[in-house]
């Protein structure tokens, strides 16, 4: 309260100190941080590299998310990129990745630097770059193939010395982006490598199993030889849905008549899961009962996959899916689903009547496929 009373007299040096003081206290005061952010943003040209990095790290530790502030800092680094060392830019990108914020212009500029001169990428920096671009789901416009090939070439150079764990992380990152690094994958999937990765006493065993499963899914589904199957075996995990999806279930029953018109909590191959599956005729005018649709598995049946997703699945302040969700959406498309992403937070805030109308619009609208709906602008 004492700081807030004096907030109008806040100086630039004190704004910097306040960030670090709040981190030391582990106390997130949004009004104070907003005022400090504004002051720093106005004087960003006077902030040295180390302090800029500390401020962004403070935002992460305090769980403070200010899209305008992050954009201003990213724009500043991007506009003065010639003054920064490439390793400094990597550190900036790494912290932005922790924050879930995609500085697209800066990432595009840096991608050009990587393709022009990849020699500066040692193994540590290569792994960071792969992780950042993968999680934030950023692919440079106009130089996608060159960028991927450059990163793949760098990875191949380190294959003789890379650990199995780092090889898995690097391969996973490229696969998430839809690129298959064949040499690395051949090395990774040797029996010895798999056995070492999945040692029972390894603290990260579960995470590694998830990455291996995703890599294998990418190898099959993203392969040029893969064709959409005539049908996909599915399985209901249970007849119940989680509490936060109960509203959607009730709205679908109200809209479609009964619960035999959709499937819920569906398990697919490759350990993919969808919240609700709806099947329709080829003209998308009529919803088919689940049993009837099972009897006529052919191209005349269209399958809709509803995914109710949290805001954290998207890059901050946008409806641009982060890498893991983008990969899932891509793979569901390959399996023959039309994917509809719904921001669950917004859906839960709707009245029951609005929720029904919303789902009706998404089911019968030809333009709803593969679009994120209900963007949160807060």
CA distance linking residue 274 with residue 304, whole number of Å: 10
63 three-class SS: coil
Structure tokens at 223: 């392969």
Structure tokens at 248: 């959607």
Q: Count Cα neighbours of 166 within 13 Å in the Cβ-side half-sphere.
A: 16
CA-nearest of 208, 244, 370 to 304 is 370
> Given this model, what pLDDT does residue 283 score?
83
Q: Which residues of the chain form beta strands (DSSP E)?
A: 235-236, 263-267, 273-280, 287-288, 302-309, 337-343, 372-373
Question: Are the C-beta atoms of residues 156 and 121 closer than 8 Å to each other?
Answer: no
> Given this model, what pLDDT does residue 376 score?
43
CA distance linking residue 237 with residue 228, whole number of Å: 24
For residues 279, 210, 102, 120, the Cα torsion angle rounded to the nearest 10 degrees is -140
Give the angle 102-85-37 at the CA atoms, nearest 5°.
Answer: 45
> Given this model, what pLDDT does residue 308 score?
96
Residue 317: phi, psi to the nearest 5?
75, 10
> Given this model, what pLDDT does residue 378 score?
36
Q: Cβ contacts of residue 112 below 8 Å, gap of 6+?
A: 140, 143
- Per-residue pLDDT in tens (0 to 9) along the chain, 378 residues: 888 888 888 889 999 999 999 999 999 999 999 999 999 999 999 999 999 999 999 999 999 999 999 999 999 999 999 899 999 999 999 999 999 999 999 999 999 999 999 999 999 999 999 999 999 999 998 889 999 999 999 999 999 999 989 999 999 999 999 999 999 999 988 866 667 776 655 667 888 889 999 999 999 999 989 888 877 877 776 666 677 899 999 999 999 998 899 999 999 999 999 999 999 988 888 999 987 655 555 667 889 999 999 999 999 999 999 999 999 999 999 999 999 999 999 999 999 999 999 999 999 876 654 455 544 433
CA distance linking residue 130 with residue 206, whole number of Å: 21
CA-nearest of 344, 331, 205 to 268 is 331
**Residue 65: how many CB atoms within 10 A of its CB?**
16
Kindly report the pTM of this predicted structure. Answer: 0.91
Residue 34: phi, psi to the nearest 5?
-60, -45
> Given this model, what pLDDT does residue 375 score?
42
């Amino acid at each position: 309260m004492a700081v807030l009373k004096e907030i109008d007299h806040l100086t630039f040096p004190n704004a910097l100190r306040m960030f670090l003081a709040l981190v030391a206290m582990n106390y997130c005061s949004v009004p104070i941080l907003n005022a400090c952010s504004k002051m720093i943003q106005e004087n960003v040209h006077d902030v040295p590299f180390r302090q800029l990095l500390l401020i962004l790290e403070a935002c992460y530790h305090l769980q403070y998310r200010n899209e305008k502030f992050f954009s201003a800092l990213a724009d500043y680094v991007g506009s003065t990129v010639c003054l920064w060392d490439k390793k400094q830019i990597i550190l900036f990108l790494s912290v932005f990745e922790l924050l879930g914020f995609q500085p697209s212009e800066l990432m595009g500029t840096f991608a050009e630097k990587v393709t022009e001169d990849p020699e500066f990428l040692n193994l540590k920096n290569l792994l960071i770059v792969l992780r950042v671009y993968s999680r934030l789901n950023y692919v440079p416009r106009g130089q996608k193939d060159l960028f991927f090939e450059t990163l793949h070439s760098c990875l191949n150079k380190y294959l003789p010395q890379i650990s199995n764990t780092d090889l898995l992380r690097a391969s996973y990152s490229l696969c998430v982006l839809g690129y298959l690094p064949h040499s690395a994958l051949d090395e990774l999937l040797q029996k010895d490598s798999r056995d070492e990765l999945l040692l029972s006493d390894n603290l990260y065993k579960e995470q590694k199993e998830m990455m291996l499963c995703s890599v294998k899914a990418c190898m099959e589904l993203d392969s040029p030889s893969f064709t959409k199957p005539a049908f996909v075996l599915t399985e209901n995990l249970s007849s119940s849905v989680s509490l936060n999806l109960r509203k959607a279930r009730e709205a679908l029953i109200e809209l479609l008549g009964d619960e035999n018109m959709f499937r819920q909590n569906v398990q697919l191959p490759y350990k993919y899961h969808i919240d609700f599956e709806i099947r329709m005729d080829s003209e998308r005018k009529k919803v088919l009962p689940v049993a009837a649709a099972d009897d006529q598995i052919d191209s005349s049946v269209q399958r809709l996959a509803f995914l109710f997703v949290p805001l954290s699945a998207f890059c901050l302040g946008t409806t641009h899916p982060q890498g893991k969700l983008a990969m899932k959406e891509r793979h569901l498309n390959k399996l023959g689903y039309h994917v509809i992403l719904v921001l669950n937070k917004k859906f839960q805030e709707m009245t029951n009547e609005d929720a029904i109308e919303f789902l009706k619009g998404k089911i019968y609208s030809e333009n709803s496929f593969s679009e994120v709906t209900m963007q949160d602008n807060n």
